[in-house]
Amino acid sequence: MTRTLCLAALVAASLAGCATSPPPTAGGPTVPTGKCNAEGARWAIGSAVNDDVVNRILQGTGSRDARVLRPGQMATMDFREDRVNIDVNDRGAITGIRCG
Protein backbone atom coordinates (compact mmCIF):
# COMPACT_ATOMS: atom_id res chain seq x y z
CA MET A 1 0.00 0.00 0.00
CA THR A 2 2.78 2.42 0.97
CA ARG A 3 4.65 1.58 -2.20
CA THR A 4 1.55 2.32 -4.30
CA LEU A 5 1.04 5.68 -2.58
CA CYS A 6 4.69 6.59 -3.06
CA LEU A 7 4.49 5.67 -6.74
CA ALA A 8 1.30 7.69 -7.19
CA ALA A 9 2.90 10.70 -5.47
CA LEU A 10 5.96 10.37 -7.68
CA VAL A 11 3.83 10.28 -10.83
CA ALA A 12 1.82 13.32 -9.72
CA ALA A 13 4.98 15.24 -8.85
CA SER A 14 6.51 14.31 -12.18
CA LEU A 15 3.48 15.56 -14.08
CA ALA A 16 3.36 18.80 -12.15
CA GLY A 17 7.10 19.30 -12.51
CA CYS A 18 7.02 18.71 -16.24
CA ALA A 19 4.20 21.14 -16.90
CA THR A 20 5.50 24.01 -18.96
CA SER A 21 4.03 27.28 -20.01
CA PRO A 22 1.83 26.99 -23.08
CA PRO A 23 3.28 28.25 -26.35
CA PRO A 24 2.49 31.82 -27.38
CA THR A 25 -0.67 32.31 -29.40
CA ALA A 26 -0.93 34.20 -32.68
CA GLY A 27 -2.31 37.22 -30.84
CA GLY A 28 0.73 37.46 -28.57
CA PRO A 29 2.15 35.57 -25.62
CA THR A 30 -0.26 33.93 -23.21
CA VAL A 31 0.67 34.97 -19.71
CA PRO A 32 -0.95 33.08 -16.85
CA THR A 33 -2.82 35.45 -14.58
CA GLY A 34 -1.93 33.21 -11.68
CA LYS A 35 -5.51 33.09 -10.45
CA CYS A 36 -7.24 29.83 -11.34
CA ASN A 37 -10.61 29.82 -13.11
CA ALA A 38 -11.69 26.18 -13.44
CA GLU A 39 -14.46 26.98 -15.94
CA GLY A 40 -11.79 27.40 -18.62
CA ALA A 41 -10.98 23.69 -18.53
CA ARG A 42 -14.35 21.94 -18.20
CA TRP A 43 -13.79 20.58 -21.72
CA ALA A 44 -11.11 18.23 -20.28
CA ILE A 45 -13.51 16.17 -18.14
CA GLY A 46 -13.56 12.66 -19.57
CA SER A 47 -10.19 13.07 -21.33
CA ALA A 48 -7.14 10.97 -20.54
CA VAL A 49 -4.60 12.89 -18.47
CA ASN A 50 -1.27 13.50 -20.21
CA ASP A 51 1.27 16.33 -20.48
CA ASP A 52 -0.49 17.97 -23.44
CA VAL A 53 -3.87 18.00 -21.68
CA VAL A 54 -2.32 19.31 -18.44
CA ASN A 55 -0.64 22.15 -20.37
CA ARG A 56 -3.92 23.03 -22.10
CA ILE A 57 -5.68 23.00 -18.71
CA LEU A 58 -3.04 25.37 -17.31
CA GLN A 59 -3.56 27.69 -20.26
CA GLY A 60 -7.36 27.52 -20.08
CA THR A 61 -7.54 28.16 -16.35
CA GLY A 62 -4.82 30.80 -16.13
CA SER A 63 -3.11 28.78 -13.40
CA ARG A 64 0.62 28.64 -12.81
CA ASP A 65 0.64 25.14 -11.31
CA ALA A 66 -1.29 21.90 -11.83
CA ARG A 67 -1.75 18.96 -9.48
CA VAL A 68 -3.04 15.59 -10.72
CA LEU A 69 -4.88 13.74 -7.95
CA ARG A 70 -5.68 10.05 -8.20
CA PRO A 71 -8.20 8.14 -6.02
CA GLY A 72 -6.88 7.65 -2.49
CA GLN A 73 -3.85 9.84 -3.08
CA MET A 74 -2.79 12.00 -0.16
CA ALA A 75 -2.55 15.71 -0.84
CA THR A 76 -2.03 18.84 1.19
CA MET A 77 -5.17 20.76 2.12
CA ASP A 78 -3.68 24.21 1.55
CA PHE A 79 -5.53 26.48 -0.86
CA ARG A 80 -3.49 28.11 -3.59
CA GLU A 81 -5.31 30.42 -5.97
CA ASP A 82 -2.67 29.84 -8.65
CA ARG A 83 -3.11 26.02 -8.71
CA VAL A 84 -5.57 23.85 -10.59
CA ASN A 85 -6.36 20.39 -9.23
CA ILE A 86 -7.09 17.69 -11.80
CA ASP A 87 -9.00 14.75 -10.35
CA VAL A 88 -8.62 11.47 -12.25
CA ASN A 89 -10.09 8.00 -11.81
CA ASP A 90 -8.28 4.63 -11.72
CA ARG A 91 -8.21 4.54 -15.53
CA GLY A 92 -6.51 7.95 -15.77
CA ALA A 93 -9.60 9.77 -17.07
CA ILE A 94 -10.21 13.28 -15.77
CA THR A 95 -13.27 13.39 -13.51
CA GLY A 96 -13.02 16.93 -12.18
CA ILE A 97 -11.22 20.26 -12.46
CA ARG A 98 -11.10 22.57 -9.46
CA CYS A 99 -8.97 25.39 -8.16
CA GLY A 100 -6.89 25.25 -5.03
Q: What is the pLDDT of residues 55-93, one digit of tens each?
A: 999 999 999 999 999 999 999 999 999 999 999 999 999
In angstroms, the first-to-last Cα distance of the chain is: 27
Are 62 and 37 in contact by the 8 Å Cβ rule? The answer is yes
Distance CA 50, CA 17 (A): 13
Q: What is residue 15's predicted lDDT score, i.e. its pLDDT?
A: 53
Provide the whole-model pTM: 0.67
Q: What is residue 34's predicted lDDT score, i.e. its pLDDT?
A: 83
CATH class of segment(s) 2-20+34-99: alpha beta
More confident residue, 61 or 1: 61
Give 34-98 as a 3 state SS string. Answer: CCCCHHHHHHHCCCECCHHHHHHHHHHHCCCEEEEECCCCCCCCCCCCCEEEEEECCCCEEEEEE
Residue 27 phi/psi, 5° resolution? -85, 0
Closest CA to 93 of 53, 62, 59: 53
Residue boundaries of the structural domains of the chain: 2-20+34-99
- The pLDDT tens digits of the residues spanning 17-55 come to 444 444 444 443 345 568 999 999 999 999 999 999 999
